[in-house]
């Protein structure tokens, strides 16, 4: 696979590992957060941390749309499927997310809900066209990468005059969540670890560019490197962060120059702003209410908004009190510091958000890395 396999080369990895080991000052400790679950997954799946010196620590951030999706939003989707009799379409990732009353979308399906997994937003639109007598709702999750495809189908539905298609919009925004990690009230309560830099998700930046991080780097004096998701990309980004720290710089650098520019994909951005506007606040599982961190469908397109079309109320559902996800998402604690981890909270039976998807910090550590804790 061109542009994939070359970026997984073990020999080049050893070279980069040696460069990181040489440049990381022995007297310093470096803590970097990879914001995105895709990076967490790559780090765990390829064993990247085994190639890093002991004084470089990776902290797993909250960038997994499934993990941060609050239970109350999944409850809404289940209500649509079970009580309003809609065809509820969603990405495979959402099916297993535990909701209230021991339910999940998969379990709602077993109770007779018409829940269908789609690979693309376009599939949901097609289902609506094929079933004119049924209401079809697309349960849309994801960050800036996944939002434009949702915008495309809303505009297509408008062009087609579809009366039976709507979207339950749960799209969230990356830069506001990263800021929240450093300055939210939660951080004051939980304390904070000194994060020395951030790895930013390349796929988000293919759409939004890297400019949105410039304010962040300057305001918080933290270096940011936008990096691809292959393991060599991650290693290179770590090396670039180590150098910025050593040189006292706090800039935005772009490791994924092969598809990320400063401005990103303007066509996609314009489409998104035509269809969506900022929500005043949105609940993130594990982070709580984060101001201006999500999108909702504009009034002009309200007839495609499932929250307008159906009588749905949002009810916030608290996480288990012993759950440490809030602290883990901010890097204050590690998964293995939580007493639920690996005991009652496992990928088969997730209690907290970080265990929900294989990209969550806890699930990744449980699935790929728990040999490190074994004695």
Partner 1 sequence: MCLAIPARVAEILEGDQAIVDLGGVRKDVSLALLDDVNIGDYVIVHVGYALQKLDPEEAEKTLALFAEMGTQV
Partner 2 sequence: MTKVRENYVRPLDLKQGRVDMTHGSGGRAMAQLIEELFAKHLDNEFLRQGNDGSVLPPLTLGGRLVMSCDGHVVSPLFFPGGDIGCLSVHGTVNDVAVMGAKPLYLAASFILEEGLPLADLAKIVESMAKAAKEAGVAVVTGDTKVVEAGKADGVFISTTGVGVLPDGVALSGDRARPGDVILLSGTIGDHGMAIMAQRESLGFSAPIVSDTAALHGLIEAMLATGADIRCLRDPTRGGLATTLNEIARQSGVGMMLDEAAIPVNPEVAAACEFLGLDPLYVANEGKLIAIVAEGDADKVLAAMRTHPQGARAVRIGRVHEDAHHFVQMTTGFGGRRIVDWLTGEQLPRIC
Residue labelled with tokens 């961190």: 293
- Kindly state whether residue 359 participates in binding partner 2, applying the rule CB under 8 A: yes
Candidates 72, 201, 81, 212; CA nearest to 146 is 201
Among positions 55-94, residues that touch partner 2 (CB under 8 A) are: 64-66, 91-93
Q: Give which of 177, 151, 145, 168 is closest to 67, Cα–Cα.
A: 177
Give the residue with the Cβ less far from partner 2, 33 or 187: 33
Question: Can residue 203 be called a binding residue for partner 1 (CB under 8 A)?
Answer: yes
| x/- map, 335-374, partner 1, by CB under 8 A | ------------------------x---------------
136 neighbors 89 (Cβ within 8 angstroms):
yes
Q: Are 255 and 228 in contact (CB under 8 A)?
A: yes
Shortest Å, Cβ 136 to partner 1 = 17
- Binding of partner 2 by 8 (CB under 8 A): yes
- Residue 370 is a binding residue for partner 2 (CB under 8 A): yes
CB of 339 to partner 1, least distance (A): 27
Residue 244 binds which entry of partner 2, partner 1, none, CB below 5-8 Å type-dependent = none
Task: Decide: 342 and 362 in contact? Cβ < 8 Å.
Answer: no
Binding mask 37-66 for partner 1 (x = CB under 8 A): xx------------------------xxx-
Judged on CB neighbours under 10 Å (0-12, 13-18, 19+), 96 is middle
CA–CA separation, 315 and 217 (whole Å):
35
Q: Total number of residues binding partner 2 (CB under 8 A)?
A: 45
Q: Which does 239 bind (CB under 5 to 8 A by kind): partner 1, partner 2, none?
A: partner 1
Residue 366, class by beta-carbon neighbours within 10 Å (0-12 exposed, 13-18 middle, 19+ buried)? buried
Encoded tokens for 323: 């759950």
Nearer to partner 1, 267 or 280 (CB): 267
CA distances from 307 to 139, 170, 249, 303, 374 (A): 11, 11, 45, 9, 47
Question: Is 371 near partner 2 (CB under 8 A)?
Answer: yes
Residue 1 lies near partner 1 (rule: CB under 8 A): yes
- CA-CA-CA-CA torsion sign (194, 365, 323, 282): positive
- Binders of partner 1 in range 260-289 (CB under 8 A): 260, 264-265, 267-268, 271
- Member of 31, 72, 84, 95 binding partner 2 (CB under 8 A): 95
From residue 305, alpha-carbon distances to 116, 165, 185, 247, 296 in Å are: 19, 9, 32, 49, 8
Decide: helix, strand or coil at residue 172: strand
CB nearer to partner 2: pick between 149 and 291: 149
Neighbours of 280 (CB within 10 A): 10
Residue span binding partner 2 (CB under 8 A) among the ranges 2-10, 178-186, 214-222, 286-294: 2-10
Which of 22, 25, 45, 316 touches partner 2 (CB under 8 A)? 45
Nearer to partner 2, 38 or 197 (CB): 38
Strand pairing report for 224-227 and 56-63: unpaired
Pairing between β-strand 56-63 and β-strand 30-36 as defined by DSSP bridges: parallel
> With CB under 8 A, what is the number of residues at the site for partner 1?
55
Q: Applying CB under 8 A, which residues contact partner 1?
A: 1-4, 6-7, 9, 11-12, 14-16, 18-19, 22, 36-38, 63-65, 91, 119-123, 142-143, 145-146, 148-149, 152, 201, 203-204, 206-207, 229, 232-233, 236, 239, 255, 257-260, 264-265, 267-268, 271, 359
Q: Applying CB under 8 A, which residues contact partner 2?
A: 1, 4, 8, 10, 13-14, 17, 37-38, 44-51, 64-66, 91-93, 95-96, 117-120, 123, 142, 146, 231, 347-348, 357-359, 366-371, 374
């Amino acid at each position: 696979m061109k542009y994939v396999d070359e970026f997984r080369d073990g020999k080049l990895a050893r070279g980069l590992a040696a460069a990181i080991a040489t440049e990381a000052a022995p007297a310093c400790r470096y803590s970097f957060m990879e914001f995105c679950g895709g990076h967490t997954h790559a780090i765990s799946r390829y064993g990247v941390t085994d190639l890093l010196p002991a004084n470089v620590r990776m902290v797993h951030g909250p960038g997994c749309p499934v993990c941060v999706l609050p239970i109350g939003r999944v409850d809404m989707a289940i209500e649509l499927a079970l009580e309003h009799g809609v065809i509820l379409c969603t990405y495979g990732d959402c099916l297993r997310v535990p909701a209230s009353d021991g339910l999940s979308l998969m379990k709602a399906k077993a109770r007779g809900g018409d829940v269908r997994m789609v690979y693309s937003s376009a599939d949901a639109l097609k289902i609506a066209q094929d079933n004119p007598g049924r209401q079809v709702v697309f349960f849309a999750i994801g960050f800036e990468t996944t939002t434009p495809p949702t915008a495309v189908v809303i505009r297509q539905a408008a062009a087609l005059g579809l009366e039976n298609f709507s979207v339950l919009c749960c799209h969230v925004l990356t830069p506001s969540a990263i800021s929240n990690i450093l300055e939210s009230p939660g951080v004051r309560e939980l304390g904070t670890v000194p994060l020395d830099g951030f790895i930013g998700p390349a796929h988000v930046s293919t759409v939004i560019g890297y400019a949105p991080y410039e304010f962040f780097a300057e305001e918080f004096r933290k270096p940011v490197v936008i990096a691809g998701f292959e393991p060599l990309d991650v290693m290179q980004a770590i090396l670039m962060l180590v150098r910025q720290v050593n040189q006292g710089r706090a800039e935005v650098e772009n490791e994924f120059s092969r598809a990320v520019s400063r401005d990103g994909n303007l066509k996609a951005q314009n489409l998104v702003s035509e269809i969506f506007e900022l929500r005043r606040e949105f609940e993130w599982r594990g982070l709580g209410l984060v101001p201006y961190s999500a999108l909702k469908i504009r009034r002009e397109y309200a007839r495609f908004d499932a929250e307008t079309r159906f009588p749905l109320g949002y009810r916030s559902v608290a996480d288990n009190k012993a759950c440490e996800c809030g602290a883990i998402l901010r890097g204050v604690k590690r998964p293995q510091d939580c007493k639920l981890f690996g005991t009652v909270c496992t990928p088969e039976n997730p209690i907290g958000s970080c265990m929900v998807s294989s990209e969550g910090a806890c699930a990744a550590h449980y699935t790929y890395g728990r040999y490190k804790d074994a004695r």
